[in-house]
Amino acid sequence: DFPSGYTAYHNYAETVAELNQTVRDHADLVKLQSIGKSHEGRDIWALKISNSPATDQAKPEVLFTCNQHAREHLTVEMCLHIIKRYTDNYASNATIKNLVDSREIWVLPIVNPDGKEYDIASGSFRAWRKNRQGPGTDPNRNWGYQWGCCGGSSGSTSSETYRGPSAFSAPETQRVRDFVNSRVVGGVQQIKTHIDWHTYSELILWPYGYTYNDTAPGLDATQQSAFSTLGRQMASRNGYTPQQSSDLYITDGSVNDWMWFQHKIWSYTFEMYPKTSSGTSGFYPRDTQIGPQTTRNDTAVELFLQYSDCVPRIINRTC
């Protein structure tokens, strides 16, 4: 489990318990469902927040995913924080109520449960990144758009960025893919926006990751401008650095590129605290950072939800 100094972090069982407690506290606002199992058979949970959670309403849907990478435990706390904020404050905060009333919000707090548990199982951190299928696949190199195209992943099984033997070879990326595909209703993708939470470097990143070009097939100059404008405005709220993903480094088979190309979901990566670090210690901030570093993103997430009906609205375009 988590070592001392980290006990406020949620392991898999504690996260599931927290989700079930949210269901008991806010049965009128949330619905909890498994989207299927990981390689080792753990459920991947999705919590839906809505003012009528059992109903599929005709409202813009928003997706938050956390913990694709095993050791990035702060991201699970971010997803749990979003859940708490948009449920506990619903009755008392008009801004929160308006957002919940006008959206359907999906939160997947642990996309890679096997990797997460492996990272903490011995009582000291293993600095594990990948899933636990064979040598381990990097989930964020396993998505099916431009998979393995461009030197932004590795074909070596021992690599930290091993892309797997084929696109969507990882059960975990399959489950999230199938969930997102299932949100196409009447030929229209209901999910409009997505944030995939990672650590660390304090960045806000947008597609594409596979190419240095600002525009590319499926991403024109107007769309690029909307992506970057919302990215920069969110960054001005949380103090992160906004940039195109490939400006960090080239990645192929990342979730953002697939979400955008395949579904035209406005998909961002947020890299949380800390900004810089040495070795792997940046993945393990003390639990005293959970409060400040999750709250720090509140107004950025609020802005993101506000524009989730139509991101191009931020540059005065219509949808």
Choice between 10 and 69, CB closer to ligand 0X9: 69
Q: Does residue 256 bind ligand 0X9 (CB under 6 A)?
A: yes
The SS3 assignment for 132 reads: coil
Is there a contact between 11 and 42 (Cβ–Cβ < 8 Å)? no
CA distances from 159 to 131, 162, 243, 276, 308 (A): 12, 5, 26, 23, 36
Q: Does residue 146 bind ligand 0X9 (CB under 6 A)?
A: no
The SS3 assignment for 105 reads: strand
Amino acid making up residue 161: T
Residue nearest to ligand 0X9 (CB): 209
Q: Does residue 251 bind ligand 0X9 (CB under 6 A)?
A: yes
Q: Does residue 198 bind ligand 0X9 (CB under 6 A)?
A: yes
Is there a contact between 283 and 199 (Cβ–Cβ < 8 Å)? yes
Among the listed ranges 52-60, 83-91, 191-199, 234-242, the one in contact with Zn ion (CB under 5 A) is 191-199
Q: Does residue 112 bind ligand 0X9 (CB under 6 A)?
A: no
Return the bridge partners of 248, or none: none
Candidate residues 38, 50, 133, 140; the one interacting with ligand 0X9 per rule CB under 6 A? 140
- Reply yes or no on whether 202 is catalytic: no
Candidate residues 26, 42, 69, 85; the one interacting with Zn ion per rule CB under 5 A? 69
- Give the pair of three-digit tokens for residue 158: 């021992």
Among the listed ranges 11-19, 90-98, 254-262, 299-307, the one in contact with ligand 0X9 (CB under 6 A) is 254-262
214-220 own/partner pairs: CB under 8 Å, 24+ apart: 214/244, 217/261, 218/260, 218/261, 219/260, 219/261
Provide CB contacts within 8 A for 1, sequence distance 6+: 11, 120, 121, 123
The SS3 assignment for 44 reads: strand
Among the listed ranges 5-13, 81-89, 120-128, 252-260, the one in contact with ligand 0X9 (CB under 6 A) is 252-260
Amino acid making up residue 312: P
Contacted by 75, from ligand 0X9, Zn ion, none: CB < 5 to 8 Å by type: none
Candidate residues 103, 163, 198, 263; the one interacting with Zn ion per rule CB under 5 A? 198
Instruction: Provide the minimum distance between the beta carbon of 245 and ligand 0X9 in the complex, in angstroms, as a whole number.
Output: 3
Q: Please state, in angstroms and rounded to a whole number, the distance separating the CA atoms of residues 128 and 142.
A: 17
Among the listed ranges 41-49, 104-112, 153-161, 193-201, the one in contact with Zn ion (CB under 5 A) is 193-201
| Residues of the shown chain interacting with ligand 0X9 in the complex, contacts defined by CB under 6 A | 69, 72, 140, 198, 205, 209, 245, 251, 254, 256-257, 269, 271
What residues act catalytically? 271
Q: Which residues sit at the interface with Zn ion, rule CB under 5 A? A: 69, 72, 198
